[in-house]
Structure 1
């Protein structure tokens, strides 16, 4: 995850479809084609926003969490109204500094490095559980298997978690059916994946997740990846559908320092300190932000892809043209979002649920500027994306 600048706070804007309350605008406003402010948060000094598949977390400057969206499995960490922001419970004396969301699971880090977790994990066959002894956790608790460790970073996929300890070790747990945990989990003992274990990685400085794949960046600027690779979302230009152990994306070496990484359902984005963004993975809905002619050319060289709309993909990290000076990135299920250092926001990819904020409900082949009457005069400082919605944090 990216480091939050604690000095910057702003207003929360939402775009897209929110049948389960993802927009936080109440039960009468479930869809927005252009950015709409979440007025309920206007006086909360929001410093960061993070999306899961169908829920959102907003972190205040003083370390409080507000949540909204689908709460079927306890991912909101509270009771009460789901379609409007509400204060996450059981954190009254805790200052949260980071938060990460999956489909039905949420993680948060406190200022003293303690890891809080709530919700539940699911797998291909249905419910998996919160821990080996508990089906669901509806309010935040310190995850019992990690109570004696302190952490500096967290990341969550659809149903798996990564946590980076102060010593640079990466703990992984949750559903491991696609090797997103970096280890084999026997089908008949899937709950074993709910017990965190460390990977054989050292000196890691940042982590990230796609839906079913995982990332780790070390202090030598190497990006490791593992998990599902059926569309080349691991960026290894390989025909292997599963990457079973952490593997370096060699084609990114020498391209500069990596700032952060983000993943969607089957695509990935890498933000460089230079402000450039590389993309790879599935491309049939323009998830990569690359011109179609470029995708077709690259697909012809990539064993993962063909010109078929069902398997169009780019397996090698590719620079997104004409997208520069980027400061923040996010992946939705099948779309990408970026904010630049001068306060502009861009979106691309699948757009039929209005998640791109382009006012048309159409896909965007390449990064398209997000505009709207409500957003005029604001500078976007953070972006987040869920399954079919996008959230912006903007300041005047």
Structure 2
């Protein structure tokens, strides 16, 4: 290996410093220009209704928050979490990540649990021991090997957050963030990329306690992908940061300047009223009703059917014409599928089919719109298609390979990959190919108000009907 000369090293360092300075200057100019624009979005009010909190799915990495002595790591139907009672804790909001969950309680405290390898819990769990389950039980669902980390499997309080009210929580696979009523954002954890840890910021690889994202204000909404975040401000400008290897940040990320992707940056989208995200793709809805998407599109998860081969990418925000005129108010996605919700409560689906993520039965697929593999099997449906088997819906959520929809009368419907029990429908021999009501003793008398999908688990919250 040839050693670099001192002059060469100094030149290289100077070049990086200049690049960083230019990036900061560009960012400042963006804010200056934005300050002259009219505000078109408002920061939402904090949620304040306490709820019962339910969990289900696979919890091998402490995702369910049922404590170390839980008899099973697999919960096949919704179960009330005993550590978050409504009268003393009172869950008002939450966010589910890949292997962890954040909860906001009625007193503005944030609780966390799950795998803490990347610091996503925002609290120290390093000295906790693994605790074997209670061996006295005879439940047929017991795991033979159910040892769980005591601190990670039990909800615990996140330290270091300010006193201002929290209006939203989001969670990626490896990072957590909260939006305050002041419009500022606090985050902790890290971003990962194809090569491993990308980092939390230019100078920090893994951030294990909440810190404020500097020079980032007037934010009204956040959206989380697998390893990237989107944000929307009061002026209608969209921002993105994190891993951009699949163009999910809406801009090209060069290897030599990759660390600049760890700072929130705008990428040309204005007049936006909503941002949404799948694992590796992103969405925006403009004030004039256009739906835009970008990022990985190998299964048509961007809703754009012109290119759906392996590795296909939509490199810049592109209008999803199949959703034009549909009155879309919210949109989200999993690993390779997406869900869009209209103001009238209709749900449109598109993307991968083989694990039944889109919720359309085989004999009801619009075959002319589908893409087939070399064997003639349906690979995906890249054209947004209305789900006709649902009642009026008020919220949709997507895990990597499963989906949830919440009806306006508080009933949850699930479909998709069933092996992890994240659909909450008990023991099943096959994946769920159409929306199916979750109906069990724990939730039957509840009007559910909030739903969420993690990597291999799901969560919900609600109150008993009058």
Q: TM-score range by the shorter chain?
A: over 0.9
Counterparts in 2 of 1:220-235, with a 5 A limit?
220-235=288-303
Distance in 2 between residues matched to 1:125 and 1:10, nearest whole Å: 40
Deviation at 1:273, TM superposition (A): 1.3
Aligned counterpart, 2:82 = 39
Aligned counterpart, 2:50 = 9
CA contact (8 A) 1:305 1:314 kept: no
Deviation readout 1:90-109 (Å, 9 max, x if unpaired): 01523211011100011210
Deviation at 1:63, TM superposition (A): 2.7
> May I ask how many residue pairs the two structures share in their alignment?
389
Aligned counterpart, 1:109 = 179
Query: Relative contact order (C-alpha < 8 Å, sep 6+): which is higher?
Result: 1
Task: Report the 3-state secondary structure (helix = DSSP H, G, I; strand = E; otherwise coil) of the residue aligned with 1:373.
Answer: coil
Deviation at 1:162, TM superposition (A): 0.7
Deviation readout 1:127-162 (Å, 9 max, x if unpaired): 100011110111111113x34x22000011111111
CA contact (8 A) 1:231 1:305 kept: no
Aligned counterpart, 1:328 = 395
Aligned counterpart, 1:75 = 120
CA contact (8 A) 1:290 1:365 kept: yes
Which ranges in structure 1 are unaligned for 5 or more consecutive residues?
none
Does the C-alpha gap of structure 1 residues 308 and 333 become closer, same or farther in structure 2, counting only changes over 3 Å?
A: farther
Across the aligned residues of Structure 1 and Structure 2, the Cα RMSD in angstroms comes to: 1.9
Distance in 2 between residues matched to 1:282 and 1:309, nearest whole Å: 15
Aligned counterpart, 1:346 = 413
Deviation at 1:67, TM superposition (A): 1.0
Task: Report the 3-state secondary structure (helix = DSSP H, G, I; strand = E; otherwise coil) of the residue aligned with 1:40.
Answer: coil
Counterparts in 2 of 1:118-267, with a 5 A limit?
118-144=188-214, 146-147=215-216, 149-239=217-307, 241-255=312-326, 257-267=327-337
Distance in 2 between residues matched to 1:5 and 1:355, nearest whole Å: 28
Of 108, 112, 116, 1:63 maps to: 108
Deviation at 1:49, TM superposition (A): 2.1
Which ranges in structure 2 are unaligned for 5 or more consecutive residues?
1-42, 126-150
Aligned counterpart, 2:27 = none
Aligned counterpart, 2:66 = 25
CA contact (8 A) 1:51 1:386 kept: yes
Deviation at 1:5, TM superposition (A): 7.8
Task: Report the 3-state secondary structure (helix = DSSP H, G, I; strand = E; otherwise coil) of the residue aligned with 1:251.
Answer: helix
Of 79, 84, 93, 1:48 maps to: 93
Task: Report the 3-state secondary structure (helix = DSSP H, G, I; strand = E; otherwise coil) of the residue aligned with 1:193.
Answer: helix
Q: Does 1:373 align with 2:418?
A: no
CA contact (8 A) 2:339 2:398 kept: yes
Distance in 2 between residues matched to 1:87 and 1:185, nearest whole Å: 36
The structure with the largest alpha-carbon Rg is 2
Task: Report the 3-state secondary structure (helix = DSSP H, G, I; strand = E; otherwise coil) of the residue aligned with 1:20.
Answer: coil
Aligned counterpart, 1:85 = 155
Distance in 2 between residues matched to 1:285 and 1:199, nearest whole Å: 33
Q: Does 1:99 align with 2:189?
A: no
Task: Report the 3-state secondary structure (helix = DSSP H, G, I; strand = E; otherwise coil) of the residue aligned with 2:75.
Answer: strand
Does the C-alpha gap of structure 1 residues 14 and 202 become closer, same or farther in structure 2, counting only changes over 3 Å?
A: same
Deviation readout 1:22-54 (Å, 9 max, x if unpaired): 100012331101111111111212112211111
CA contact (8 A) 2:175 2:190 kept: yes
Distance in 2 between residues matched to 1:40 and 1:328, nearest whole Å: 26
Which stretch of structure 1 is more off in the superposition, 361-370 or 345-354? 361-370
Deviation at 1:4, TM superposition (A): 7.8
Q: Return the TM-score normalized by structure 1.
A: 0.94
Deviation readout 1:58-85 (Å, 9 max, x if unpaired): 1223432111111110111112311011
Higher strand share: 1
Does the C-alpha gap of structure 1 residues 198 and 179 become closer, same or farther in structure 2, counting only changes over 3 Å?
A: same
Deviation readout 1:222-269 (Å, 9 max, x if unpaired): 1111000000000012215100011111111112x2221111011100
Does the C-alpha gap of structure 1 residues 172 and 353 become closer, same or farther in structure 2, counting only changes over 3 Å?
A: same
Task: Report the 3-state secondary structure (helix = DSSP H, G, I; strand = E; otherwise coil) of the residue aligned with 1:375.
Answer: coil
